[in-house]
Amino acid sequence: MTDYDVLAEVYEWLISDAKLPPAEFAASFDDVLSLLPSNAQVLDCSCGTGQLAVGLAGRGLQVVATDASEAMVRRTAELSEEFGASVRAVRASWEELPDHFEDGTFDLVFCVGNSLHHAAGATGRGVALESMSRLLRPGGRLVLTSRTWELVRARGSRLDISDRLVRRNGRDAVVVYRWEIAPTWEEEHHIEIAIAQVDATGLVQVRSELLSCWPYRSEELEVELHRVGLRTEASTFDLEAENYLVVASKVQTPGSLPYLT
């Protein structure tokens, strides 16, 4: 699992304008949130700096936010305090989730922000998805967003430099992605993300982090979800789109109580 301890301090430059306000980030998931019972238990298991978790708490949901990066968890707690939101922030990798929460605790689990590719290969993804599935109540849902890795690999190794300045906290920055695409799907790939900030004097400060990732095909993800007891309800996968969203529900086992919507 890759840490984001360096990028955590400047992560807001990687969040789109539309999703920077917590309420608007949560609103982007209105369709699935409308299916929840009141006072539902929700887990954001790749919380980043907490925009989604804080937005969900603002709706009256009981929210837990986890991340493998201690710095991300700290920033989530700070954002929660800033907005007066009740969010429990816990440092935990995906494989550690069952150590912190009982099976069947949550009505909804989020794994968004193109996070799953940081799990180490098919084995790591399987462990991560198994942990998420275990924590869902029967009939509960997993909401996952992913890069379209078929498109990423087709473009090959490259340097992507933003063509505009991004302004956050009164400072401008340029975001740069350097992609190292391995020869085969199964090998470890790398993304180096650099944020070049321009201060008031015109000096440039660069923060960067090299991140490991293991891509997967959309059909592989479908199979892996099914393997851990999750049934895909909806997918926006499109070979020409940069990202897609998957909503999968926890299959009810004989004798389990129905999920109320």
DSSP per-residue codes, 103-154: TT-EEEEEE-SS-GGGS-HHHHHHHHHHHHHHHEEEEEEEEEEEE-HHHHHH
Asked if residue 22 belongs to a domain, the reply is: yes
pLDDT above 80 (res 9)? yes
Residues linked to residue 206 through DSSP beta bridges, in sequence order? 196
Kindly report, residue by residue over 137-176, the tens digit of the pLDDT.
999 999 999 999 999 999 999 999 998 999 998 899 999 9
Regarding whether 139 and 16 lie in a shared domain, the answer is yes
Kindly report, residue by residue over 179-223, the tens digit of the pLDDT.
999 999 999 999 999 999 988 788 899 999 999 999 999 999 999
Name residues whose C-beta falls within 8 Å of residue 159's C-beta, 6 or more positions apart in sequence: 176, 177, 178, 179
Regarding whether 11 and 139 lie in a shared domain, the answer is yes
Regarding whether 242 and 157 lie in a shared domain, the answer is no
Regarding whether 113 and 52 lie in a shared domain, the answer is yes
Regarding whether 200 and 166 lie in a shared domain, the answer is yes
CB neighbourhood size of 240 (10 A): 7
Give alpha helix (H) positions in the chain: 22-27, 30-33, 51-57, 70-83, 97-100, 121-135, 149-155, 218-227
Mean predicted lDDT score pLDDT of the chain: 94
- The predicted model scores a pTM of 0.93
Asked if residue 176 belongs to a domain, the reply is: yes
Question: What's the rounded Cα separation, in Å, for the pair 45 and 91?
Answer: 10
pLDDT above 50 (res 258)? no
Confidence of residue 32 (pLDDT cuts 50, 70, 90): very high
Question: What's the rounded Cα separation, in Å, for the pair 105 and 241?
Answer: 34
Q: Which domain holds residue 25?
A: 3-148+217-250
Regarding whether 80 and 180 lie in a shared domain, the answer is no
Regarding whether 123 and 66 lie in a shared domain, the answer is yes
pLDDT above 70 (res 255)? no
Q: How many CA atoms lie within 13 A of 61 on its CB side?
A: 26
Regarding whether 17 and 101 lie in a shared domain, the answer is yes
Asked if residue 256 belongs to a domain, the reply is: no
Regarding whether 195 and 69 lie in a shared domain, the answer is no
Asked if residue 259 belongs to a domain, the reply is: no
pLDDT above 80 (res 1)? no
Q: How many domains would you assign to the chain?
A: 2
Q: What is the pLDDT of residue 257?
A: 45
